Amino acid sequence: MPALSQLKTLYHLTLSPIRGETHQERLDSFYGAQADDYDAFRKKMLHGREALFERLPIEPGGKWLDLGAGTGRNGELFGERIAEFGSATFVDLSESLLGVAQKRIQNEGWTNAGVMHADITALDVPSDSVDLVTFTYSLTMVPDWFAAVEEALRVLKPGGVVGVADFYVARRYPDTGRSKHSFFTRNFWPFWFGMDNVHPSADHLPYLARRFETLHADEQYGKLPWIPVVRAPYYRFVGRKRID
């Protein structure tokens, strides 16, 4: 990615004002001018997606919803396996990013894929109808992320799988086996990301583990472009909807 494009994207990430009365308006204000450069820049900062998708199962002929899908790059992470889905739907509230996703679908020839412009906390999707739901760096951008998780739980079939990767911070007193973060980490990253309406939460992992059967969870740190020394914490979670 050319340095000029990186600087342009960095400007919109840190200095460009975010305008709008609604969440959708704020998203398009934030992403509109950087949609075309979104993937190249964020590939260096949104860690763990490749490793997450290597763990995710595909039910042949099944349905996949990618919630907060942005530009649809997650489709590439499945590689040729994406053709095994009966349908793959990239859902987002930002029309700017969905425009890039639609171009990607056409360029890649994903005949089983499409986009859905929707609020991921209120989907027009039948209950118990989806085999796989993914959130990659989208829960931190949803004001009511609890509702987004509950919506994923609603639409998944019993035994269906959810996969999540996102920034986070640990609780001050984490559960046994979970990572413990310093005072600096727990306070700096919510402040830093909060300037872009991204809100790392100490409650993501505990809530996901409460609502789903945990198949895999790990916590890591990753580099960020143009920010030396410090590393941002992120997690991966794979869970299954319990069968009553």
Rounded Cα gap, residues 176 and 36, in angstroms: 42
pLDDT at position 25 over 90: no
Computed on alpha carbons and rounded to an integer, the radius of gyration of the chain in Å comes to 17
| Average confidence (pLDDT) over 104-125 | 97
Q: In which domain, by residue range, is 48 found?
A: 3-240
Q: Report the length, in residues, of the chain.
A: 244
- Helix, strand, coil % over all residues of the chain, rounded to 5: 40, 25, 35
Above pLDDT 70, what percent of the chain? 82
**For position 150, which CATH number holds?**
3.40.50.150
* Burial of 144 (C-beta count, 10 Å sphere; 0-12/13-18/19+): middle
Give the global pTM: 0.84
Rounded Cα gap, residues 115 and 113, in angstroms: 7
Q: How high is the pLDDT of residue 224?
A: 84
Contact 162, 212 (CB under 8 A): yes
| Average confidence (pLDDT) over 204-214 | 97
Rounded Cα gap, residues 53 and 209, in angstroms: 19
- Number of structural domains (the chain) is 1
Rounded Cα gap, residues 86 and 113, in angstroms: 9
pLDDT at position 96 over 50: yes
Copy the structure tokens of residue 119: 């609020």
